[in-house]
Chain A
Amino acid sequence: MSSTVPTRGSVPISVEGLTKSFGSFRAVDDLSFTVRPGSVTGFLGPNGAGKTTTLRMVLGLHQPTAGTALVGDRPYAQHERPAAVVGAALEASSFHPGRTGLGHLQVYAPQAGVDTARCHEVLEQVGMSFAAGKRVGGYSMGMRQRLGLATALLADPPVIILDEPTNGLDPEGIRWLRGLLRAFAAEGRTVLISSHVLSEVQSTVDDVVIIAHGRLVHHSSLDELAAMASPEVYVESPALDRLARVADERGWRHQPDGHGMLVAETPAAEIGAAAYAAGVELHQLSPRGATLEDVFLGLTADRSTPGANQSVHTSGEAAAR
């Protein structure tokens, strides 16, 4: 196997019929999805949905009961130097408390094919240079997350897989991570991050893969998921009657509500633009109704009723229960 390390932008992840049984319990059940290069994909689902098990199968740590998971053209473990293809930080992947941050990176550097200078570089990149010589036992959760990310980045890989990377990060850290991951996707890398809270990754991801009880329940772009949120927008204006005419002209459903009106299934931006074009003054323009989080919760809600419809939702279907 003398393949060269794939270049950025050419390494998708494809999961096909992936299944993992523990005894009679199916932790992951016939799961299929792809993660495309050049985007950030959110791998979402409640705790216990099978996210970590899936990631561990993708990374060759768990043996699938059935199905395949490919990184590029082959399973993770069959790459000549896997760490140079996929940088992964798993939630449970921990550190020896007696090792320094730099020492930890130096341990894994040889197999990632990099030297100590690169260890310093990734520490710098994740803002951890100040703690390079400190033992990991004294690190905070956020610092461990950053060290895990630094480990994943050692070989500057084209694929990045992070399990619950926002855990333990403060809001500033989450914003920093978002910028970093967006930049990676812009460089053409394949980025897959798992989370059980949609709102924490909502402004980071392009695509969403949502699972519940080990099964795929939704796979689309974030925009398509957002479209399922059937938004309503509350609008206030000193010229409500003119605004209502604008809405009628465009075929928007609307109804009076309090001091203003509710416009159904129309993005706030579109309403604002129409009002501006028509010269209608707006005093308030606020989205309401089913939020993205509501849609997410609806998709992943307990549907353990035997024989319940388990078909995969596509963007066209109504989402909320």
Chain B
Amino acid sequence: MTAALIAEYRKLFSTRMWWILALILAAYLAFIGASMGFALGYEPPDATPEQTALLPQGAAAASTVYSAVNAVGYVFPLLIGSLAMTGEFRHQTITQSLLVEPSRTTFLLAKLVSTVPVGLLYAVIGVAGIVVGGAPVLALVGDGAYLTDPDVLEVFGLALLVMVLWTMIGVGIGTVIPHQVAAIVVVIGLTQFVEPILRVGLGLFDATAGLAKFFPGAAGDAVLGSSLFGTMMGEGGGTDLLSRPAGAAVMVAYAVVLAALGRLTTLRRDIG
């Protein structure tokens, strides 16, 4: 297993993909941080007290901005995780990989575990991006950057956990959908369109409002304890979130179920 882990780790870091995605992640989150910082921090001079009360203030505003590491940034660990598996099929390196490790369960477990450092790295890079973009804007136009506030530090710490879980879910998706282009389309489509629309849409009806909190993105928000969607929808109209541990458990469940499904489908078939 150790050898398999070293091999997977080398696979991840011997091509350019990891740092290209990391660069885009940093730049994208810096932009998101700056724009959200402005949106939540800036109070128009003619704002009524009622309007102001709708938006989070102070440390809560800062936490909400920084939690976009998950709410917006989660597509990146999903992508690198799914690419770790789909790349094997796209470039047919799966053949050589299974020649040196015929146990497909070991192969899959090594893939899942080896993505932990990548998830952590992406969390650090993502947090750095959102802080570089968001903190100055919050400090200048808002109530402050609150970089040492316990709630904010908690968001940063939990972002590490969430990003690792996203990377593992990505590996699971890549195993279920080994076709690289299809996996990328599904990841981007689900995260950028389907889940946001469904979360808002299902939140509108009492009968379905309970479902949305089990979506992976909502579970991630629950772990961070701060939701961009909750803020956007305002009190009452927004989606409920699970408790922090429940959110983490739901994410783990997604990773485990997807990986198991991939093991029983893609990785049970003949290779080549």
Contact = CB atoms under 8 A, between A and B. Distances in A.
A94 B91 CA distance: 6
Interface stretch (A76-84, A215-223, A280-288): A76-84
A267 to B, nearest CB: 42
A95 B91 CA distance: 6
Q: Is chain B's binding surface mostly helix, strand, loop or mixed?
A: helix
B7 interface: yes
Interface in A110-157: 110-113, 151
Nearest to B95: A93
A112 B270 CA distance: 22
**Candidate in A76, A90, A110 with the most chain B CB atoms within 10 angstroms:** A110
Contact of A62 (B91, B100, B272): B272
A106 B272 contact: no
Interface stretch (A41-49, A53-61, A291-299, A311-319): A53-61
A97 interface: yes
Interface in B104-130: none
Contacts, number: 85
Interface residues of B, number: 27
A107 to B, nearest CB: 5
Contacts of B96: 93, 108, 151
B184 to A, nearest CB: 16
Interface string A69-103: 00000001100001100001010111111111001
B270 A63 contact: yes
Interface in B70-96: 87, 91-93, 95-96
A96 B87 contact: yes
Interface size bucket, A side?
A: 20 to 34
Contacts of B99: 59, 61, 82-83, 88, 93
B108 to A, nearest CB: 15
22 contacts: A56-B271, A56-B272, A61-B270, A61-B272, A62-B270, A63-B270, A76-B102, A82-B102, A94-B92, A94-B93, A94-B95, A99-B15, A103-B14, A106-B10, A107-B11, A107-B14, A110-B3, A110-B4, A110-B6, A110-B10, A111-B101, A113-B3
A98 B15 contact: yes
Question: What 10 A-B pairs have minimum CB-CB distances, sorted nearest first?
Answer: A77-B102, A111-B100, A94-B92, A110-B3, A98-B15, A103-B14, A93-B95, A62-B270, A110-B6, A61-B271
